[in-house]
Structure 1
Amino acid sequence: MIYATTLPERGTFEAWRAAARRAISHRIPPQDMAWEGAGGLFAAHPLPADPGPHQVRVGAGFLKLAGSVIWHSEPERFALLYQALWRLDRQEGDPLSQADPLGRRLHLLAKNVGRDIHKMHAFVRFRECPTDGPRRRFAAWFEPEHNTLEPGSAFFVRRFADMDWMIATPRLTARFEDGRLTFGPAARRPALPDDAAEGLWATYFANIFNPARIKLDAMRSEMPKKYWKHLPETRLIPDMLKDAEARVARMRAAGASQARPGAAAISTRYRAAMPQAVAAEGLPETLDAARAAALQCQRCALCSAATQTVWGSGAVDARLMIVGEQPGDHEDLTGRPFVGPAGQVLHQALAAAGASAETVWLTNAVKHFKFTTRGKQRLHNSPDRYEVEQCRWWLGLELAFIRPRVTLALGASAALALTGDASPLAARRGTVERGLHEGPVLISWHPAYVLRLRDPARQSRALAELTEDLRAALVMAQSDLAAPLPGTRSG
């Protein structure tokens, strides 16, 4: 007997979860489920309305993975997730592991969804619309690859909470009015009015465009051409590329000019007050210049409470880069990474693996300490995805200048920063993944996780695994099979 259910366009995840719970409570096997309401050549029956006697509990890891996969455009995503749920219930292997074919496919779908949400956050361009009310109104048109408007809209709610806006897509429309987010049916591409701010942005973009730094493959990788039609600045790119060689020749012919007396002091004060000026001058030319720029970082709100930026340290020609989550209280006060209790665990594991901090590059995915105050204590708070992504700029510069053969990610935040994958760490620990910088990334536990374990046996095992991963990373770094990172991609 084939059971069929049709899931709605909105609230898809909760609808799938309810249907899957009801189906598995009646022990309906995956092959008897038709998730889009089509039963093929067989007569399809609706799911039983009442819950069955068999109740299933799954961990947070599955729910998190399912909550991402569900927004993919792959028609089989509902069936694949139900197969994983069925296997978890029957304890048939580990369908969440990337070593399992099903788990690997699900994680790939989740990664694609995450990247699509990131592209939406980067490439949605609002235009201001007329309004009679006190709140400004904006509208945008976007064409995501997957069904990511619903999960991706929370970012815009946080960023633009003081204005009304609409994002229309071919599948769904998001509206934020008077502080309330709603979703409606698909809409045609609206006739958006011209926006005076676009002219200012285009002028700024044209002026910061450096023809001597053109890397077309990197440009198209970070800004795929399918999004160009939505971005006002990309209309200028073809003409700027045509004139690039001539502009470079004019720049060389002009040479450097002597600054007037006092200009250096004025420039120094300006850079200290406005670190965003880095964007107008291109990438820092050296590791020291990158560190100096990072000391003035204001890319997210963490800089307002932390004592200072904590930059990486170690061997500038290191073959192994070790990336943690963020500075702790000790690191924030000293300005050096891995000097607190977790750092002591890492240094001990390094010594046991046959290396020292002086031979590797130690750094963090996030450069500022995030904490909450309780009395006189500053208690660690994990950085969120937005903060990790904002700080990826600095991590990318470290990768570009250090050029390690292998990168070791300690903990989930470091793994997210290096790979873009936020899936659970337990199934990934000890595995090698391809980083966003195209280099090998070995995943391991963070030393702070080892310290938090209460059970002595589990703590001993986790420390042994961390040491084992350090030893493996060192072997890979010394091997000729681990090629250096290509190019100088940042973040």
Structure 2
Amino acid sequence: MFVARLAEPADFEGWRRQARVLAQWEIPAGDIVWHVGDEPLDLFDGQAVDDLAHDQHVRFTVPREFPDLAEQVVCHRDPERFGLLYRLLLRLRQEPDLLKVVTDPDVHRLNAMARTVRRDLHKMTAFVRFREVRDAVGGTMFVAWFEPEHFIVRRVSAFFVNRFSSMRWAILTPLASLHWDGTTLQVAEGAARPDAPHEDAMEEYWRTYYANIFNPARLKIKAMKAEMPEKYWRNLPEAALIAPLIAGASQRMSAMVKAEPTHPSVRHARWQSRQEAPAYGTASAPSDWHQAATAARSCARCDLCRDATQTVFGSGPLDAPVMFVGEQPGDQEDLAGKPFVGPAGQAFDKAMAQVGFDRRRAYVTNAVKHFKFTVRGKRRIHESPNAGEIKACRFWLGLEREFVRPRLIVAMGATALMSILGKATTISSVRDLTTTLEDGTPMIATVHPSYLLRLPDEAQREKETARFVADLNRAKAMLPALLDPIR
């Protein structure tokens, strides 16, 4: 008889180390007693596994999934778990594909035990509720009570350390207890339920939250109890509401049916009108600028219309000799419905004034007509449009060019350049050149004014601003030779 001693009930590393030695000697599973901690042996001590010679150079392989399954199964409360795992280890040396035989009694039992442990791990992460208490020196810490079915406390500890690393807490269970002081995790012996606090000020918040998210129309009692078994209810502050909420579900649902329907939000109504409006194409294109601007208000050519406040069409005289094309509306442009009125527009106006370029004689627009953004807190943060969105909006920019017929186009930024040229092109490759477009219109490229605002270095910002002003000066100098006397 051989005795394999393990430090604690879920000592996977200890089991693996000793199982390797035993497997080298091909000791049968029935000749091994797996002894945990200070548990007394039933009859007599056998030969310790550590006394067996172990050849470090002898190696054998097992399927990759077996160590993961074994690490889960050692957490099970079944006293025969270590013997089952060792028996499977010996069999896997002769039958490498054994784990694929799900009808095999040992494999079936192994998988069932692993599923049970995984479920217990999930329940602990879902149903632990901390309560605020004061420690011996008057500090604040949080204590929770949980009753796991299996020896999972050590295995689940990393989840709680990562999730609640900034606070001091303890989780008490009958099997083992976790204590985290903000830097170090300690695993102690199990505790009794009276050691855990019973209630704190947060209990009412939990109950209020649960009562407000409870939907009587979706109540499925059997499914609810399967996900949140009744044995956990006594540890959950919101569980006190379950019975009255279930009892009143039918009445609340009837009241919901009888209530008047709520009206959709203004944004939803605006989006719905865009969906119902025609998506203008070449066959039904507007015949003049005013029709185009009106049609663009209900544009649904891409998904940006769903979240934007409104379409921001170009503005300026329809006989303007120069057209400035930017990227897309910003937050303030989206609210105002006009291009270049935000911080980038102010930087643009300042540079135009420095050049002596009257903006009132220029047509200003964007390659994309809707504001694309991500929400961070209460702020809407600009997000660059993708190639598909730029392509969808080329239709509107094409109409603007057709109806305004500018003598010169100034593309500000890579998005504007991509929209005008129909392909991705870097600003640096064409900035000092004059590009002739397919319809014969000359185009020059420069940076977008928002680029100047993003530069963190003051010296660099002054240098790039001076270069932007020089680009505007070049555009202004080109106009006299381009103007048609007839216009």
Q: TM-score, with normalisation over the residues of structure 2?
A: 0.50
For 1:266 and 1:199, the matched residues in 2 are separated by 40
Matched, 1:21 2:24: no
Equivalent of residue 217 in structure 2, options 205, 212, 227:
212
- Greater Cα shift, 16-25 or 122-131: 16-25
Match of 1:45 in 2: 47
Matches within 5 A, 1:324-473: none
The residue identity in structure 2 corresponding to 1:219 is M
- Greater Cα shift, 119-128 or 35-44: 35-44
For 1:101 and 1:297, the matched residues in 2 are separated by 54
For 2:263 and 2:109, the matched residues in 1 are separated by 59
The residue identity in structure 1 corresponding to 2:88 is A
Match of 2:192 in 1: 188
Corresponding residue SS for 1:35: strand
For 2:251 and 2:75, the matched residues in 1 are separated by 46
Equivalent of residue 111 in structure 1, options 115, 120, 131:
115
Matches within 5 A, 1:265-284: none
Match of 2:254 in 1: 249
CA deviation profile, 1:139-189 (whole Å, cap 9, x unmatched): 111011111111111111111111111111111111111321121111112
Instruction: Give the Å deviation of 1:197.
Output: 1.8
Instruction: Give the Å deviation of 1:33.
Output: 0.5
- Please give the root-mean-square deviation of Cα atoms over the aligned residues, in Å: 3.9
Which of 1 and 2 has higher RCO (CA within 8 Å, sep 6+)? 1
Instruction: Give the Å deviation of 1:111.
Output: 1.6
For 1:64 and 1:297, the matched residues in 2 are separated by 40
Counterpart contact for 2:168–2:182, Cα < 8 Å: yes
For 2:215 and 2:129, the matched residues in 1 are separated by 23
Instruction: Give the Å deviation of 1:95.
Output: 3.6
Corresponding residue SS for 2:79: coil
The residue identity in structure 1 corresponding to 2:188 is G
Equivalent of residue 81 in structure 2, options 77, 89, 103:
77
For 1:163 and 1:19, the matched residues in 2 are separated by 38
For 1:83 and 1:109, the matched residues in 2 are separated by 15
Equivalent of residue 159 in structure 2, options 155, 160, 177:
155
Matches within 5 A, 1:66-105: 66-89=70-93, 91-92=94-95, 94-99=97-102, 100-105=104-109
CA deviation profile, 1:393-438 (whole Å, cap 9, x unmatched): xxxxxxxxxxxxxxxxxxxxxxxxxxxxxxxxxxxxxxxxxxxxxx
For 1:195 and 1:61, the matched residues in 2 are separated by 44
Counterpart contact for 1:128–1:138, Cα < 8 Å: yes
For 2:140 and 2:270, the matched residues in 1 are separated by 37
For 1:307 and 1:29, the matched residues in 2 are separated by 66
For 2:101 and 2:72, the matched residues in 1 are separated by 16
Match of 1:143 in 2: 147
For 2:203 and 2:31, the matched residues in 1 are separated by 53
Distance 1:75 1:31, change over 3 A: same
CA deviation profile, 1:73-128 (whole Å, cap 9, x unmatched): 11111001111122233x24534334333223212211211111111111111111
| Structure 1: stretches of 5+ with no match in the other structure | 274-294, 299-303, 309-331, 336-491
Whichever of the two has the greater Rg, that structure is 2
The residue identity in structure 1 corresponding to 2:156 is G
Aligned length: 280
Match of 1:58 in 2: 61
The residue identity in structure 2 corresponding to 1:52 is H
Match of 2:475 in 1: none
Counterpart contact for 2:171–2:179, Cα < 8 Å: yes
For 1:29 and 1:210, the matched residues in 2 are separated by 57
For 1:234 and 1:296, the matched residues in 2 are separated by 37
Corresponding residue SS for 2:177: strand
Match of 2:431 in 1: none
CA deviation profile, 1:368-405 (whole Å, cap 9, x unmatched): xxxxxxxxxxxxxxxxxxxxxxxxxxxxxxxxxxxxxx
Corresponding residue SS for 1:196: coil
Match of 1:233 in 2: 238
Matched, 1:4 2:3: yes
Matched, 1:129 2:128: no
Counterpart contact for 1:167–1:174, Cα < 8 Å: yes
The residue identity in structure 1 corresponding to 2:127 is F
